[in-house]
Each structure stands twice: as structure tokens, then as C-alpha cells.
Structure 1
């Protein structure tokens, strides 16, 4: 960790801090709350959608750890919100190793909350950007924590819709997939306009006004990110429908509330 001064860019809204606001967190500032309020006014399901995505991350990590995955790379981590990914993984596999990455400087400032690994495991944080995957993967924190000769579970939760250019999005995902060994997994949750086109159009406009471009994608477009890998059942489905826990209330949620697809695939 670099203990030098960090420019937190508090004068402009950031998607990670807006996400924290939707989740009821406290690491957000007036610009984030103002943009978040405008988003909720345009799309009242935004807080519910954020919680659905978060729960998908919990379920996918728990199930992958229970299936034997012991290494996790989470890109687009967001503000620390317990239980964090390493807490979920290390409940199943105490010696699990986790690397977090985000490009929001305030996540860097709070990253110590992500480094509280259990005694048998290890966590690390790298300040990086998915649009520069080569630098991210080459970072000392990544190479010192993860063994790239053994399977790694890559998590891109609620991230890729912030990479608006289709070619760029597929290029960075392809680079990450190529770097991972056989047996690795890829988990994606991604926003879509299929279930509420007008509501999502308002979200896109609100984020654009706050300085962030959002690119919802249709199911077929999201499935392309998994090309060449084996999708785990039930495939790419509405986020709250991916292996829900019994009694978790997902049966009462609608596709419009989620407005996202999710899936997990394994590298042959």
C-alpha cells in the first residue's frame, strides 16, 4: 500500500461511491448522493438492483469456494461492504487468497478493510483499471498473491457496463481470460435494458450527466463474454435467478428490479 496523499476527487460523482450509496453505505459524498438521488428518481429500482448484484457475488463466490476454488481476483471491487469477497471465500476455504482491484481513489484509501484476511489466507489490493489489464495482471500485489499455474476465480461484478465500447470490453475480458489457467472461472453481472428499456434509458442519461458513460447490453451480448468457456448451470440468467438460496426472497423479485444478467463459466 502506498501511504502517500491520495486525490479522492470528491467534487465529482463516482460509480463506486454511488453504488455504496445505493447499498446504504456511508463512504459517499454530496456529488455521489446527488447523482444517486437523480438515478433513483429516474429508476427507483436502483438500490434493489445493487443489492441483487451484491448477493450474486456472495452466492457465486461461496459456491466456487465450496467447489474447490482457492484463488480469487475481483476487479471493480467498490467500497468495502462487509461481508466482502474474501470473507465469503475464507468461510468456505480458510486459506483462500484474494486480490481486489478498483480505479476509485477512495477505494484505495479504504483498502485496508479489504486486507483483513483470516490467518490462514491472504488478501491484497491493487489500484488499477480494467481497461489496462496488462498492467493490472503484472502488478506486484497480484503476482505475489496469486499462483497463475493454478485455477483463479475472476469476478467482474457490475463492472463491464462501465466499459461502453464493445470492442474494448471484449478485448479486456479476452486478455484476462487468456491469462488464466485451465479450471479458472469467470463470474459476470451486467446491467441490461431488456426488462425496462425506458427506465434504463433514464439511468444512462443520469450517469452521463454525472460524467460516466454506461452501456447496458442484451443477454446475447453478455453471453459473448464467456465465449470458449463452459457456462455453469443455469447459464446467463437474470441476476437473482442464478442459483438463489432457499428462502432468500428472490422469488418475490422481478426482472425489472434486477435489470441485470449474471453467469459463471469455467475455462476448459
Structure 2
């Protein structure tokens, strides 16, 4: 029987545009998966998230130290050993502490800071027995602007006998290159060493919790601490990295793909490095 070639050709003509669209769509999806999340971007997200966490924990500790120096904390004889390069103002009526770095100076933890940290206290007591909201007024760290707030709940004594409190992070960093990086979530920190010691440089905290955010390229990311992070201010005061121990899993995704990597902060030794595992590679990162 003779085949109807014209009918076959017509069917192919109708199918070809759909095939072309499908191929182009597949190529676009493949390009999205391979170009949106490069290795450099994965490393950059980890570095920016760690820098943001580090600075936010420093800001809380600066607020604690400044409270002592402003004379609103008991026992009044306790003093901070951090290098002071700011002025403190305590308004008892409004229960607001202002920490003013002025036009800029290199002070706590060796970073260049300028602008103001504003600490607003709840009605119950001071320091660890009061809720605090930390905000920022034209505040810069190493040339990067910090906005947002940190909400630190009053401390309680846990079953191990340590002071602990939860704190909420709502942080945006505008990098001096014009890009932004956000950090949001809640964490718990336990004060495991340095309590009522002579200075804040001896403080050590154990941190757990999770955070989310948006990277400088608009990529969503999140992390979960799977082994508690140790924040050792002895190390930070000596010019080393704040986090000396702990593991977190960091995930980032576009609309079609999610990747999870492991970040390891070490085994308790003061240094300036940590590692991120990407596939079979272990990459060492030097902290800022």
C-alpha cells in the first residue's frame, strides 16, 4: 500500500516546533543548574555566612563589654580588657545604651568599626537578666555596613549549670562592593567558660541553632549546626578566628536543585582556618 508521505511530512512539521522548544527548555534548565551554583559561589556563600555570624556574635559581646564600662552592670568592679575605641552613653530613663565608634577606629577584635551600636533593655534588670534589642546607626565593620537587629533573650541557668540564652538574628550586610548578604534565624548560646572572670576575653560560648538568608547573587541558603560551634573569645582577642570547633551543614539552591555541604570549624585549636567539603574535595578557607 502506498504511504501518504504528505501526511507524514505535515505531522513532522507540526511536531518540530514542540521538539525545538523542549530542547531549548532542557538546555536552559541544564545551564541554570550548572551556572547558578558554581564552586566559587558555594565558597563565597560559606565565607559570607561565616563572616556575618562572626560579626554578629562579636556585636553581642561588644554590647556586654560596653555595659560594664558604662557602669550599669553589677558587680561594678568587673572591667573589660578589650581595647576600647568607643564612647558609651547610658540613658537610665529610656534604658538605652549607645556605643559610639565615631568616625572609625580599630578596636575590639581587631576590626575597623564606625557608627553606633544601640542596645535597648527590657524592664527586668540589666545584662544577662534582661531582654535586649541591639540595633545599628550608620554602623560599619571593615567598610561593610551592618543593618537589622539582634534580639537577645534574658539568660537562664540550664541543667548543666551554665547561663544560656536564645538570640534572634536579623542581619543584612551591605558589602563595600555594593552587594548585600542577609542572615536570619535563631540560635542558642551557652556561656561555658569565663563567667565572672576578670575580662570578656576569656569568654567561651557553645552555640546551636539554624540560620537562613539570601546570598550576594540572590541565591537562597540555610544552615543547621549539627555539632555545637564553640566561640572562643580568647582566640579572637589574639587575632585568630572566633569559632574553634563545631560542624554545620549549609544548603543552597536555585529553583530546580539543592546542594548541601559540610563546614568544619576544627578541633578546638586557635587558628584562622576552617574547611568546607565540596563533593570529594576538602577546601581550607582562611577567615577574615
Q: State TM-score, norm by structure 2.
A: 0.26
Question: Which of the pair has the greater relative contact order for Cα pairs under 8 Å at 6+ separation?
Answer: 1
| Structure richer in strand, relative to its length | 2
| Structure richer in helix, relative to its length | 1
